[in-house]
Amino acid sequence: MKPSRSLLLLLLLLTLFTSPSLSRPAPPSLLRLPIDRPRSSARRDCESWRFTVETNDAGPWKQVPGECEAYVEAYLAGERYAADSRAVAEASLAFASGESGRAGTVGGSDAWVFDVDETLLSNLPFYAENGYGAEIFNETSFNEWVDVARAPALQSSLWLYQELQNLGITIILLTGRSEFQRNATEQNMLFAGYRSWERLILRQDSDMGKSAVVYKSERRAELVLEGYRILGNSGDQWSDLLGFAVAKRSFKLPNPMYYIA
């Protein structure tokens, strides 16, 4: 019996679709096994490094890996850093506005705690001269930069700061800078456009040697004892936000340049 025309056609089609030159490549798997990880792309690795840093998955780290210096520079100097910071500020204000609406009014005892460096002020001009975190931190030269008091505002943080003030929220500044830097810090805050904070808390002699997370938690606990309700807390370091007497909501700003425990 002769094979029918349709059977011949089917066989022809099968040959066409199974021939390697004509079959389409399989779509890339979304879930790659470790062995499939692309190793050629240094950029992709640095993005993942930044993810682990921002989420605190990386834990303590000393400096930006050398191969990621250019990536970190591009991130900070390009649009990405500003866009990420803006998104954090918008989320912060959405929360604060919601609280304000829910409670009817937000009173003067409702406080928002801001860190200073890489939160309200940007030290990018300093870090640009120092490898964007790829060089070991030089405290002497950073303190010289602090004394100049010309760090610009992180624009989205200045916007958030003013919007929170419009809601009637009390602004508290809690920084790892030391008491001897009070004047320079105040000068710099004014230079950058910040006004009317309630208090600027700096490290005292008795705080030397304490980790940032302990020092900042202790100061927040004092605020709570005074009767403040800490609505929100903004910081570029997890040590600004974790510990005890934490805010109702904490907001982590991006910072792939350095880690403070």
Ligand X SMILES: *[C@@H]1O[C@H](CO)[C@@H](O)[C@H](O)[C@H]1NC(C)=O
Residue closer to ligand X, measured from CB, 6 or 140:
140
Residue closer to ligand X, measured from CB, 52 or 141:
141
Rg (CA), the chain: 26
Residue closer to ligand X, measured from CB, 61 or 180:
180
Q: Is 183 in the site for ligand X (CB under 6 A)?
A: yes
H-helix segments, the chain: 5-18, 42-54, 69-77, 79-102, 124-128, 139-148, 155-166, 182-192, 212-226
x/- mask, ligand X, residues 110-149, rule CB under 6 A, reads: ----------------------------x-xx--x-----
Question: Which residues partner with 2 through β-bridges?
Answer: none
Residues 6+ apart with CB under 8 A from 228: 109, 110, 111, 170, 172
Minimum distance of ligand X from residue 204's CB (angstroms): 16
Question: Starting from the edge strand earliest in sequence, which strands make up the sheet with 110-114, in order?
Answer: 199-203, 170-178, 110-114, 229-235, 249-252
Q: Which residue has the tokens 């390009």?
A: 78
Minimum distance of ligand X from residue 131's CB (angstroms): 12
Minimum distance of ligand X from residue 54's CB (angstroms): 28
Minimum distance of ligand X from residue 192's CB (angstroms): 15
Residue closer to ligand X, measured from CB, 182 or 229:
182
Residues 6+ apart with CB under 8 A from 190: none
Distance CA 43, CA 39 (A): 10
Minimum distance of ligand X from residue 140's CB (angstroms): 4
Residue closer to ligand X, measured from CB, 86 or 199:
199
Question: Which residues partner with 178 through β-bridges?
Answer: 203
Q: Is 62 in the site for ligand X (CB under 6 A)?
A: no
Q: Is 187 in the site for ligand X (CB under 6 A)?
A: yes
Tell me the number of residues near ligand X by CB under 6 A. Answer: 6
Residues that bind ligand X (CB under 6 A): 138, 140-141, 144, 183, 187
